[in-house]
């Protein structure tokens, strides 16, 4: 299965957003619009006043998630132990912008970093609790892996062609073990992109989970990758225990972490490349036991 060529992303200006809001939601037309710092890759995000944000897909592929988020995030929110973004309104194309878009409440917090986490074990426990609650929500009717979420929750084989030329002997062994680890086929809710930038901290504690564009129903192993990309060794142990992750799911989760990290390293420079090397060290060391 091919993922296809990279999407062609649009730039969006604050003036476009002002015109979209004024035309479609005049009750908010008086509010200032300004870009969010590090406002995203899949979506362009803007502050709308002090209490809201506007989230606009940057490419047609990412626009596939808008209806899904509008439909399902209000269903998920009351069933989860942490705040998530629940849409306030859905916008239509206009002002030379071609896709549907959303208005959300602004959730306060700083993107998670290893240095910013006050209690690594407590953070891992809270994150695992969130994922336990997410996986307990009935996934009936939720879309499975596909273009709307870049096949998150699907088989790792989807990414095999992208990864093969990046492997060495040990990472090749880790990758093959992940490919060989069987899934029981029971679809569960997945966030799809449990990454540091989508986990918000307040005073060092996990305060909210954002960006559900990759959510869907499928193999929950994709949400396990965070165990290597952000958690400490002790946090990783607690995380696995709290989620009751079996060996095959753990192996597939390690494969997801390996894929993300190898691809990042192949494109990164400077601090980002150094962080990818650090994560690869975590993956290798944990695999060796």
Residues in contact with 198: Cβ distance below 8 Å, sequence separation at least 6, in sequence order: 111, 191, 209, 210, 211
Under a CB-based contact definition with an 8 Å cutoff, are residues 142 and 211 in contact?
A: no
- C-alpha 199/C-alpha 189 separation (Å) is 17
Rounded to the nearest angstrom, the gap between the alpha carbon of residue 100 and the centroid of all alpha carbons in its chain is 20
Instruction: At 115, give phi and psi (nearest 5°).
Output: -70, -30
Q: 14-105 belongs to which CATH class?
A: alpha beta
* DSSP strands (E only) in 17-74: 33-35, 43-48, 52-57
- Beta-bridge partner residues of 56: 44
The sign of the dihedral angle between the CA atoms of 196, 200, 202, 208 is: negative
Determine the pLDDT at residue 40.
73
Task: Please tell me the predicted confidence (pLDDT) of residue 9.
Answer: 87
Host H or E run for residue 200: strand 199-202
Given the structure tokens 């492997």, which residue do they identify?
Answer: 167
Q: What is the pLDDT of residue 27?
A: 98
Question: pTM for this one?
Answer: 0.95
Beta-carbon-side half-sphere exposure of residue 98 (alpha carbons within 13 Å): 10
Which fold does the domain 110-288 belong to in CATH? Answer: Aminoglycoside 3'-phosphotransferase; Chain: A, domain 2 (3.90.1200)
The segment(s) of the chain belonging to CATH 3.90.1200.10 are 110-288
Both tokens of 29, joined, read 């037309």
Token pair in block for residue 217: 């129903």
**Nearest residue to 230 (alpha-carbon basis) of 126, 136, 107:** 126
**Tell me, what's the pLDDT at 4?**
61
Q: How many angstroms separate the CA atoms of 138 and 97, rounded?
A: 35
Q: Could you tell me how many residues make up the chain?
A: 289
- Coil, strand or helix: which one is 130? helix
Ranges of the chain whose pLDDT falls below 50: 1
CA 194 to mean position of chain CA atoms: 4
Q: How far from 240 is each of 137, 245, 274, CA to CA, in Å?
A: 20, 5, 26
Furthest CA-CA distance within the chain: 59
Task: Give residue-wise pLDDT tens across range 32-68.
Answer: 999 998 777 799 999 999 999 999 999 999 999 999 9
Taking the C-alpha atoms of residue 159 and residue 174, their distance in angstroms, rounded to an integer, is 14
How far is Cα 279 from Cα 276, in angstroms, rounded to an integer? 5
SS3 43: strand
How confident is the model at residue 8, as a pLDDT? 80
Residue 61 CA to residue 59 CA, distance in Å, equals: 5
Nearest to 45 by CA among 116, 108, 103, 6: 103
Note the pLDDT of residue 55. Answer: 97
81-119 per-position pLDDT tens digit: 999 999 999 999 998 999 999 999 999 999 999 999 999
Domain with CATH 3.30.200.20 in the chain: 14-105
Give the pair of three-digit tokens for residue 242. Answer: 């709290």
pLDDT at position 167 is 97
């Amino acid at each position: 299965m091919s993922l296809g060529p990279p999407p062609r992303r649009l730039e969006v200006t604050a003036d476009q957003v002002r015109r979209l809001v004024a035309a479609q939601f005049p009750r908010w037309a008086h509010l200032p619009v300004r870009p969010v710092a590090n406002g995203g890759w899949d979506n362009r995000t803007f502050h709308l006043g002090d209490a809201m944000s506007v989230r606009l897909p940057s490419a047609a592929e990412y626009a596939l998630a808008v209806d899904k988020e509008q439909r399902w995030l209000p269903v998920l929110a009351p069933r989860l132990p942490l705040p998530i973004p629940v849409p306030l309104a859905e916008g239509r194309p206009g002002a030379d912008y071609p896709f549907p878009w959303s208005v959300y409440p602004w959730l306060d917090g700083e993107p998670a970093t290893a240095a910013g986490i006050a209690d690594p074990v407590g953070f891992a426990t809270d994150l695992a609790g969130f994922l336990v609650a997410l996986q307990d929500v009935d996934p009936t009717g939720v879309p499975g892996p596909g273009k709307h979420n870049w096949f998150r929750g699907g088989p790792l084989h989807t990414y095999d062609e992208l990864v093969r030329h990046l492997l060495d002997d040990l990472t090749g062994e880790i990758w093959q073990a992940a490919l060989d680890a069987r899934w029981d086929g029971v679809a569960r809710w997945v966030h799809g992109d449990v990454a540091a930038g989508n986990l918000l901290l307040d005073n060092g504690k996990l305060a909210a989970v954002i960006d559900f564009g990759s959510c869907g129903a499928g193999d929950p192993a994709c949400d396990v990758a965070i165990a290597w990309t952000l958690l400490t060794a002790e946090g990783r142990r607690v995380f696995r225990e709290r989620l009751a992750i079996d060996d095959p799911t753990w192996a597939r989760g390690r494969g997801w972490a390996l894929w993300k990290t190898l691809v990042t390293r192949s494109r990164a420079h400077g601090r980002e490349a150094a962080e990818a090397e650090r994560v690869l060290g975590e993956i290798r060391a944990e695999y060796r036991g």
